[in-house]
Structure 1
Amino acid sequence: MSDRSTMQNLVLILGIVLLPRACALKCYECIPDLSGSCAQTTKECPSNTQCGSVRVTSYAGNSKLVDIKAKSCAAAEECVQASINFGVSQTLLTSKCCTSDLCNSQDAPEGSISSPNGKKCFQCDGNDCTKTLNCNGDEDHCISTSVTSGGQKVTVKGCASKVVCSSTQSAQIAGIIGTEISCCQGDLCNSAISTTAGLLLFVTPLISLVLFS
């Protein structure tokens, strides 16, 4: 065997041995429990993922109801910013992703409520779902869903970012109550049942926790 062939075989063997290690990105993981607290650990992530930090903040008016932080491996499509606005409450999702070992040591930044964008959707006040809601920021879809309150299902309507309504969104969104949402585009289009997007929401009472898969 020639020296050239020997060198090629050696490079091939080294590549086979070293490549899996090179592709195994190590990230911090911190998956909160229902109280919002978590113990930070490290884990090796699958290929084609990044290290991610996510933060979910819910507001009722100017009062902060929920501020949940999590860290884990994340697919590129899970590195998003999103907003869901039901009028009585607004929930903001922010994320921060990176591609080097243990680079997700910092929490994702806290989201802030944006200014109205001119789009309008229906919202519900009890059983009256004819009130008009001004959408904010990148909330370019109207949504309808239902939540369980006091043992009864209650319809809620409002505004949402496009990513929340995307049927191709592969992020795992888990929670106490899982329910499908319906999305549509166009002012005040959510007065009736619209196209279902197969996305689960975590609601307490609306949305309070989003976890990476």
Structure 2
Amino acid sequence: MHILVLILGTVLLPKACALKCYKCIPGPSGNCTQTTKECPSNTQCISFRTSTYAGGSKHLDIKGKDCAVAEDCSEGSINFGVLQILITSKCCTSDLCNTQDAPDGNISPSNGKKCFQCDANNCTKTLTCNGNEDYCISGAEEKITVKGCASKLMCSSTQTAQISEIIGEEFSCCQGDLCNSAGTGTTASLLLFMAPLIYLVLFS
């Protein structure tokens, strides 16, 4: 009898205890329709947000909700100098707990680390990194190159592989001042186009 109860419990418990979260994955326009979702095991509910600043002014503020693994519940940024993309999140572990939006991202003070950045066609300009941006980044496809600072969240092997599909054949992170050597640059308009695409890669 005890064995039968144990078997039934093992079969039925995961179904009964599956976490339910709100889901709202925005498209390129930033709009989405909120639904509910039964999440896989070992995940949490998450609210996430991308704030994009260009020239010190906010240009994009995209919000979403979904299920997430624990390592996605963090904050990060990519800083190209002319454009900075800030990712924030808020996670919780009870049914439909992700009702509130993730906090707004704010540009952090300088941390003293320096990386190369691209300004028009010149990638020899130096950029002082902010907050937890402790990596230098570099991406290139044919004659288009982007360089700047990034946080650890953006430099995991999974993220760099996915972002590579968006901004070029090569996307890499390195640690150490000015480790992302100079080259040919790109324009601010291209970077603004990249911002929502990077967001969709990170949270879809």
Q: How many residues align?
A: 194
Structure 1 residue 188 corresponds to structure 2 residue 182: no
Measured in 2, the distance between the counterparts of 1:101 and 1:170 equals 32
The aligned counterpart of 1:156 is 146
Give the AA of the match of 2:123.
Answer: C
Give the AA of the match of 2:193.
Answer: P
Measured in 2, the distance between the counterparts of 1:185 and 1:38 equals 37
Structural mapping, 1:50-89, within 5 Å: 50-89=44-83
Q: Which has the larger radius of gyration?
A: 1
Measured in 2, the distance between the counterparts of 1:25 and 1:171 equals 29
- Aligned counterpart in structure 2 of residue 205 of structure 1, from 193, 196, 201: 193
1:127-158 CA-to-partner distances (Å, cap 9, x unmatched) read 110101010000001111147xxxx8521111
Cα separation, partners in 2 of 1:178 and 1:128, compared to 1, 3 Å: closer
Asked if 1 retains the 8 angstrom alpha-carbon contact of 2:39 and 2:67, the reply is yes
Moved over 3 A (4+): 168-175, 177-180
Measured in 2, the distance between the counterparts of 1:35 and 1:167 equals 28
The aligned counterpart of 1:140 is 134
- Aligned counterpart in structure 1 of residue 37 of structure 2, from 36, 40, 43: 43
Measured in 2, the distance between the counterparts of 1:42 and 1:17 equals 23
The aligned counterpart of 2:23 is 29
Offset at residue 11 of structure 1 (A): 3.0
Cα separation, partners in 2 of 1:67 and 1:146, compared to 1, 3 Å: farther
SS at match of 1:157: strand
Greater share of residues in helix: 2
- The two structures have a TM-score, normalised by structure 2, of 0.85
Offset at residue 53 of structure 1 (A): 1.0
Offset at residue 206 of structure 1 (A): 3.0
Measured in 2, the distance between the counterparts of 1:24 and 1:165 equals 31
Cα separation, partners in 2 of 1:190 and 1:170, compared to 1, 3 Å: closer
Measured in 2, the distance between the counterparts of 1:60 and 1:130 equals 20
Give the AA of the match of 2:203.
Answer: F
Measured in 2, the distance between the counterparts of 1:171 and 1:49 equals 22
C-alpha RMSD of matched pairs (Å): 2.6
SS at match of 1:109: coil
